[in-house]
Amino acid sequence: MARKHKSNPIFNLLIYRALAKRWLGPSLWLIPGGIVLWGAAAYGTFLDKRYAGLTLLVTLVGILLTTYNLLARRAAVRCHSKYFTVQTPIYPAAFSYRRVASIRPIEFNALFPAEKEKEARRQLYRGLWGKTAVAVDLKSYPVPLWWLRLWFSPYLLNPKDKGLLLLVDDWMALTRQLEIGRSKLVTTRHRKS
C-alpha cells in the first residue's frame, strides 16, 4: 500500500525490503560479536592481543551493514508533480516524466526467471517472483547507465529495454500516479503552445 508524505505517494521497493528483512538480524549480531571478540583479544582470553584492533573490524562491518539494511527499508519510489524519484539505500535518482516513453505492468519473473537465478538470490527474493512490477520505459536516463548500475539493484533496471522495473506492493496505484504525472506534463505543454 502506498503511504502519503506531504501529498506525494511513497511506494516501498520490495527488492530492498526483502534484502533488509533477511540481513538486518545477522548484521545486528556482528556488532556485539565484534565487541566480545575485541574484549577477548584485549584481555588475552582466547585470542592474541595482536588481533584486538582487527576484531573491531567485525563491529565496524556490523555497523555498516546494519545502517545499509535500515536505509534499505526506506528505499522507495516517490511521485512528485514534475518527476518521480527512486530512492535506493544510498543513492536517489530523479526521473522527469518527459523521459518516460511508456508505463506498463509486467510479471517480475518474465524479466528475471527464478529458475535462471542463483539459489541464494532465489531464496532471498522467494516471495517476489510471482508479483507484478511496473515497467517504466525511458527515452533516456538522467545519468549514465553505468552510474545507475553502480547504485541500483540489478532488479531495478530492465535488462531488455531502456528503463526501470519497479516492484512495489500496489503496482496499480504506482502506475496510476505515474500516468497522472505524465498527463499533467502533456496538459501543461499543450497550454503553453
Calpha distance 36→42 (Å, rounded): 10
Q: What is the pLDDT of residue 191?
A: 62
Which cell goes with 39?
A: 574484549
If you average pLDDT over residues 167-186, what whole number do you get?
A: 91
Q: Which residue has the higher pLDDT, 52 or 172?
A: 172
Can you give the three-state secondary structure of 140-190, one letter per residue? Answer: CCCCCHHHHHHHCCHHHECCCCCEEEECCCCHHHHHHHHHHHHHHHHHHHH
If you average pLDDT over residues 77-84, what whole number do you get?
A: 92
**Closest to 164 measured CA to CA, from 150, 149, 176:** 149
* Span 114-133, pLDDT tens digits: 888 888 787 778 888 889 99
Indicate if the pLDDT at residue 137 is higher than 90: yes
Q: What is the pLDDT of residue 187?
A: 72
Confidence grade of residue 32 (pLDDT, cut at 50, 70, 90): confident
Question: Which DSSP state fits 2?
Answer: P
Q: What is the pLDDT of residue 33?
A: 84
Calpha distance 46→190 (Å, rounded): 75
Question: What percent of the chain is predicted at pLDDT more than 70?
Answer: 89
Calpha distance 94→141 (Å, rounded): 10
Confidence grade of residue 101 (pLDDT, cut at 50, 70, 90): very high
Indicate if the pLDDT at residue 56 is higher than 60: yes
Q: What is the pLDDT of residue 120?
A: 79
Indicate if the pLDDT at residue 169 is higher than 90: yes
Confidence grade of residue 40 (pLDDT, cut at 50, 70, 90): confident
Q: What is the pLDDT of residue 171?
A: 94
pTM for the model stands at 0.81
Q: What is the mean pLDDT of the chain?
A: 86
